[in-house]
Every structure is written in C-alpha cells, then in structure tokens.
Amino acid sequence: MADLVLASTSPSRRALLKRLGIPFRCLVPVVHEDDWKIGNWSPRELAEHLAVAKAESLRDTEPGATLIGGDQLVVLDGRIYGKPGSRERALEQLEALSGKSHELITALAVWHAGQTYVHTDRTIMQMRPLLTDELERYVAADRPYDCAGSYKIEERGIALFDRIDTQDHTAITGLPLIALTSLLRRLGYKVP
C-alpha cells in the first residue's frame, strides 16, 4: 500500500486523520496561498484549487505516495473570510459573523497514482448574536488566529453557534472523514 501523506501543517487535520488508524506522515505543502487568491474564483473553486495545489505540490518528491490536501474558508454575503492571523482580525471576523448564517466550505483533494480526486463539503453555520465582551473572552480562550472564520468548533467555539447544518461534522474541523474514508477504501486502504 502506498504511503499516506497529509500535505498540511494543521494540527486539526492531523488529529482527524489519526482517528482512522492508518499510518501517515505530515509534510508541509509547497503552496503560496496568497498567489491563488488573485483571480476570479468562486469561493468553492478557490477552496478546491488550493486543496488540489497542496496535495499536488508534493507529487514530485513523493511520487509513490497518496497525497491528501485540504482547504477551508468561510463565506458571508459573498465575502471570503480566511485565517485572521491576529487577535484584532479575529475579533473583526467574529463581529461580522455574529448573529448571521454563513457558509463554511471545506475542500479535500487526494492525489494517487497520477490522478486527483476532489470532494467539497458545504456547511451552514448559524452564529448566535454575540456581545463584544463574549467575543473578547472567546478569542482570549481559543486564540483562533489560524482558523477560517476565527473559531475552533472543536473547542469553545461550539458555544458561539445556534445551529449547524452539515452532512459531515468532521468537515467543520477541516477534513471530511466520511468522503476521505470512502475514497481511501476505493484506493485499497483498509479503513477501519
């Protein structure tokens, strides 16, 4: 069976993939995400292109491996929200999302034996109205600077929401395991 490689530095994606019990390695993808944000992509296209770019960025150095890439972004009223990178930007993003419903797009790309498979999950997240002190307490607790939309649903971020509509709750954390396990089984991996 081909080595399984997660092309990601995300601790959340690593933890999700570990749940499957399949040995894998993590490598840093060779992708400059900002380069992809130039262009006229729809949010779904952007997430898919970035996921594919991450997986395929390692195909020359890992030609015999199965490569997994992922990308995630938040969309509200046509505006894309990525990783905030700072406390101030996290607070700005959360203020914009407060009391509103937004779309969380999670794209998965798997490169195997010269072929790339793509799957995209769409989740509707209804954030409850939040006061400034609630936002400040939340950001201080979870420090969600590396998360699209500025929340960590797997931690205290769950308290920010009234409702979540999804087909796969693992997609919210960054790696849709239902689609991934189905694909890995088709490729010959034993899951579970």
Ordered by start, the domain boundaries in the chain are 4-186
Q: Provide the CATH number for the domain formed by 4-186 in this structure.
A: 3.90.950.10
Predicted confidence (pLDDT) per residue in 70-103, tens digit: 999 999 999 999 889 999 999 999 999 999 999 9
User: What does the alpha-carbon distance between residue 48 and residue 42 come to, in Å, rounded to a whole number?
Assistant: 10
pTM, two decimals, is 0.91
Which portions of the chain are predicted below pLDDT 70?
A: 34-39
pLDDT of residue 37: 66
Determine the pLDDT at residue 36: 65
Please provide the average confidence, as pLDDT, over all residues in the chain: 94
188 conformational bin, left if phi > 0, alpha if psi -120 to 50, beta if neither:
left
65 DSSP 8-state letter: S
Q: Quick check: bond before 192 cis, omega within 30?
A: yes
- 71 has catalytic annotation: yes
Q: Which candidate in 3, 35, 71, 121 is catalytic? A: 71
In which residue are the tokens 């308290």 written?
159
